[in-house]
Structure 1
Amino acid sequence: MKRIAVLTSGGDAPGMNAAIRAVVRKGVHHGLEVLGVYRGYSGLIQGDFVPFQLGSVGDIIHRGGTILYSARCEEFKTKEGQQKAVEQLKKHGVDGLVVIGGDGSFRGAQKLTAHGFPTVGVPATIDNDIPGTDFTIGFDTAINTVIDAIDKIRDTATSHERTYIIEVMGRDAGDIALWAGLADGAESIIIPEAPFDWDEIVERLNRSNRRGKKHSFIIVAEGVSDGSTVAEEIKRRTGLETRVTVLGHIQRGGSPTAMDRVLASRMGAKAVELLLEGKKDQMVAIQKGDIVGIPFDEAFRMKHQPDLSLYDLAGILAI
């Protein structure tokens, strides 16, 4: 293996740039040439490659987003599009590819391997919803962004003695809502993976009011309901004045935390090691603190499940 390429795909996540940096510099350390591919699979099909040197990834470890950009590509979902991508990789003399992204990006990477091209995935998504890895790049930064926002909202909530509904990202996974809710002492957390009871939510709010608490928070993952619907139901059942804050894409941006920078650096470096070892059709994962490679098939067979013991603990601590 003499030349590798790296691309980012799917939703951006803080720490992607740190992972790109690690791939490039680890590759150069081992005497490899490294190419960056702009705009994900779309750029792959179009041949939008650029040689990366050590300096190409200087001063990016602290930046959110991705310097390689990201784009959706319907053409890549077809066999013809995938074949075009492989042809471009061969045309540019690439021997292995690192794909940094989420579940959809990994399924694309697996398609490339099925076409005979060695590909390794690095999990980067704020949702933390990739099976087989304890954490994904960007998750820690996202929950810290949410916590910072809630801490600021708390000042207003206390001043006006209101109940706030905070809607966070998490279409199919409740990890952001769960971790942020536990970290910020939310009265209730509503996530896709756990059933919730309106009577219990109302009782928690009433209990907080009886002991003189000046504000309340309910954290809801967007995959369960929207914040406005939850607020209307709470007001209907309790008469409490509620306000809704939808944090939206602010959760994807910002400088990555130290945790995400280190995780991205370790994972990016491991991806290069796997390619050098002749491994393909694998994703990098962190499991109990160790950085390992696992087959895509193994990861796809699993189902992501957040640590519901945290959900139970949040309920206990919110009494």
Structure 2
Amino acid sequence: MGGYCGYLATMAGLAAGADAAYIFEEKFNIRDLETNVQHLLEKMKTTVKRGLILRNENCNSNYTTDFIFNLYSEEGKGVFDCRKNVLGHMQQGGTPTPFDRTFATKMGAKSVLWLTEKLKECYRHDFEHRIPKTEWWLKIRPIMKILAKYDIKLDTSEHTNMEHVVNKTGSLRK
């Protein structure tokens, strides 16, 4: 799920301790997939005997969910087993009641009216993939690799602005 935005896959990967999360914003190739498979193979030699790979639905048109599942299954033979699950199909829910249907219709109509107004207020011409101009969460993606124990170097040279931190007297701390 997530369309052209890898936010859901990234946050789910951080929360669940994923070994890899493939997203639209970060292009990857077969060598990246190979590196991740090798990482999982090495991980299985330790005391941790589980792995999690996430794939955003639009991350790559060639490296599909089936392709990635087959690749990991083939390369992990004798070391680990693979299972595939498309979460969007799992979280759909049960049969809606008449109340659910009428409430959804009302809320849908109100949502469309609200969205129409907001789009009229701030129409942009670069709305193709609905990607914001700044994606703050892309900077925390290396944390997922660190938590998965990849041997990587992390650039810590970027400084952050702490103006949002306010002490008890109400003045800004610097």
Structure 1 position 229 matched with structure 2 position 67? yes
Cross-structure match for 1:5: none
TM-score by length of structure 2 reads: 0.56
CA deviation after TM superposition for structure 1 residue 297, in Å: 2.6
Alpha-carbon contact 1:190-1:219 (below 8 Å) kept: yes
> Taking structure 1 as reference, are residues 236 and 171 closer, same or farther at Cα in structure 2, changes over 3 Å only?
same
Alignment partners' CA distance in 1, 2:12 and 2:124: 31
Cα shift readout 1:280-305 (whole Å, capped 9, x = no counterpart): 822xxxxxxxxxxxx12377498436
Cross-structure match for 2:158: none
Alpha-carbon contact 2:55-2:65 (below 8 Å) kept: yes
Alignment partners' CA distance in 1, 2:93 and 2:4: 20
> Taking structure 1 as reference, are residues 226 and 248 closer, same or farther at Cα in structure 2, changes over 3 Å only?
farther
Cα shift readout 1:173-197 (whole Å, capped 9, x = no counterpart): 2111111011110111111111330
Cross-structure match for 1:315: 145
| Aligned pairs (5 A) from 1:42-57 | none
Cross-structure match for 1:129: none
Higher share in strand: 1
How many residue pairs get aligned? The number is 118
Structure 1 position 190 matched with structure 2 position 22? yes
Corresponding residue SS for 1:195: coil
Alpha-carbon contact 1:173-1:193 (below 8 Å) kept: yes
Structure 1 position 241 matched with structure 2 position 81? yes
Alpha-carbon contact 2:4-2:131 (below 8 Å) kept: no
Find 1:202's aligned residue among 37, 44, 53. 37
Corresponding residue SS for 2:44: helix
Cross-structure match for 1:296: 123
Cross-structure match for 1:181: 13
> Taking structure 1 as reference, are residues 178 and 281 closer, same or farther at Cα in structure 2, changes over 3 Å only?
same
Q: Which amino acid aligns with 1:203?
A: Q
Alpha-carbon contact 1:188-1:204 (below 8 Å) kept: no
TM-score by length of structure 1 reads: 0.32
Cross-structure match for 1:24: none
Q: Which amino acid aligns with 1:181?
A: G
CA deviation after TM superposition for structure 1 residue 220, in Å: 0.8
Alignment partners' CA distance in 1, 2:148 and 2:40: 10
CA deviation after TM superposition for structure 1 residue 315, in Å: 1.0
Cα shift readout 1:79-98 (whole Å, capped 9, x = no counterpart): xxxxxxxxxxxxxxxxxxxx
Gaps of 5+ in 1: 1-168, 255-267, 283-294
Alignment partners' CA distance in 1, 2:125 and 2:55: 31
Q: Which amino acid aligns with 1:241?
A: D
> Taking structure 1 as reference, are residues 215 and 309 closer, same or farther at Cα in structure 2, changes over 3 Å only?
same
Gaps of 5+ in 2: 95-110, 150-174
CA deviation after TM superposition for structure 1 residue 227, in Å: 2.5
* Identical amino acids, percent of aligned pairs: 28
> Taking structure 1 as reference, are residues 299 and 250 closer, same or farther at Cα in structure 2, changes over 3 Å only?
farther
Cross-structure match for 1:170: 2
Alpha-carbon contact 1:235-1:242 (below 8 Å) kept: yes
Q: Which amino acid aligns with 2:55?
A: V
Find 2:46's aligned residue among 199, 211, 223. 211
Alpha-carbon contact 2:5-2:131 (below 8 Å) kept: no
Alignment partners' CA distance in 2, 1:310 and 1:280: 29
Alignment partners' CA distance in 2, 1:248 and 1:221: 11
Q: Which amino acid aligns with 1:315?
A: K
